[in-house]
Structure 1
Amino acid sequence: MIFRLRCWLTKVILLGIIAFTTITGGVLNPKLEKYGNWFLQLALALLVFFGFLRPYVIEAYRIPTPSMSPTLPVGDHLLVLKAENGQQIPFSDRLQPLLHNFRGGTRWLLMPATGSIEVGESIVFRYPADQEVTFIKRLVAVAGDSVRVHNDTLYVNGEPSPYPSAHQDVLNPSIIDDQWPDCLPYLNSNYGIADLAYNKILEGVVLDNNGDSVYIVPEGNVFMMGDNRDHSKDSRIWGPMDVELVKGQAVVTYWSWQPGNGLPKIDRIARLVR
């Protein structure tokens, strides 16, 4: 729906510019000249924004749930830099099936990236189970890293993670506690359980619900977790995430307000996302 709307707006703007220049023949009444120039400038600005900047460079995103609290509370409005990871070249959708058998596959359809995502960044991505839904979590591990969660402490490659997490609310028990058994059959069937000591694990993915097993992130995947770990559905539930689902990195909070919950949080405006 968003893609269709963007295409519709772009077409309207283009048709407006063409109609305007055709009717006037490029010649304006002096009294109307300033308004005509203003119209063209506005139309071109809208064309650049809706046709290029928004779909391929930067996009706004609102925090809908507390899974990233307290780092990103509900109501924060963020700007997401999409160019860092490289976005798909416009109008290249039909070429995708033709490139599946080539080395690099559909990566050839991406514009040059300005950088690469890194561990510790807050990443916006398409939810693996429903790619029409957008999530935001922190990237805590990349391919080849070992991950272990024990007593709400995250260990990556055997070391405690330096990235923040919220403490468990004793009045509101963790949603993860009840869902560990549900996610285990999926993880077991896809990756298997190995009863090995950490220092003897060479490959494969290991995960169980006692906090003593180690999870190895597969090639081409990343491991995502919410900062509010007791109230976040993340890679602990749905497993590793394909890097192709990444949309971009959250860079700055430009507005913060949750309707029905007091005044806007002025102190959070223009705050860089950590």
Structure 2
Amino acid sequence: MFGWKGELPSGVYWLLPFTTGCRLKKVKSQSTGEAKLVYRDEDGELALTKEFRAALLDIFETIDLDGNGLLSLEEYNFFELRTSGETCDEEVWAVCKENFDMKKNELTRQGFMDLNLMEANDREGDPSDLWVTLLSLGYNKALEMTEACPFVIDIYAEKCKPRIKAIYLEAGSWQLNRAICKSVVNKGDAKVMDGCENIIVYTYRTGMRITSVIENKSDNKVIVHVNNEQSRNCLSNRGLAVFAVEVAPKSMMVIYIQSFNKHLSHQYFLSCIQVSQHVMPLNEQEEWLYNCVHSLLH
């Protein structure tokens, strides 16, 4: 469990949870067995297996963001975006209301089950589409969640009642990358790369994680060689002890400002910052040593 306590002025703040990729990785090989999702009952009708229903209940709890035991259209659309890349509009939601169990215009657990059963019926028992849903949510063919990590965020304040709302971030979102880089640059230790004053490596350390980012202030693209071979008991999200990171050159942003009858322009040069790696201890019970060498590839 992780917690933070501090003073915040009134305003809107973004909480951006992320995984480093050190431990939670995409599984290279799927399990050989495949769980059964549907079966024919005594009347020949399709039904969901006990194991699949249990997985669907877990999924329901995960996407029920406000914890009221129902799925609003907004909550259901988080599910749809993740599994199909599309969303339901009010018109489609009204059709769902006519065909599935709802309360206060929100989908119940039974309604969610019946919706998935309808999908199985539409394919005459073929579970292909159901597996697309499960795999996109981090489950493997044995109905084990191996590529996802659900979590809960609780917020408290002494003098007000804070409100929290989930928003959708696309994979590789620039907001997340920018936030990580900004945090490391502001809080980390800076070191100019030997022989290249325009390349700076920032390293931010906590008790259980080390993150490094590379800043390129030069006019040219650079490739940085990263060597972790002298580190001990360390696990990098890169999966390799030695690798290379490509960092784009700095860019120029021109801002035009209109003042009365004059047009003024200002040029700002922005350096490019790229995450190098995240590192965590391989064994949390043992001492770990981080010794990383960055060098420029010519």
* TM bracket, shorter-chain basis: under 0.3
Q: Which one has a larger percent strand, Structure 1 or Structure 2?
A: 2
Structure number, greater radius of gyration: 2
Q: Which one has a larger percent helix, Structure 1 or Structure 2?
A: 1
TM-score (norm 1): 0.21
TM-score (norm 2): 0.20
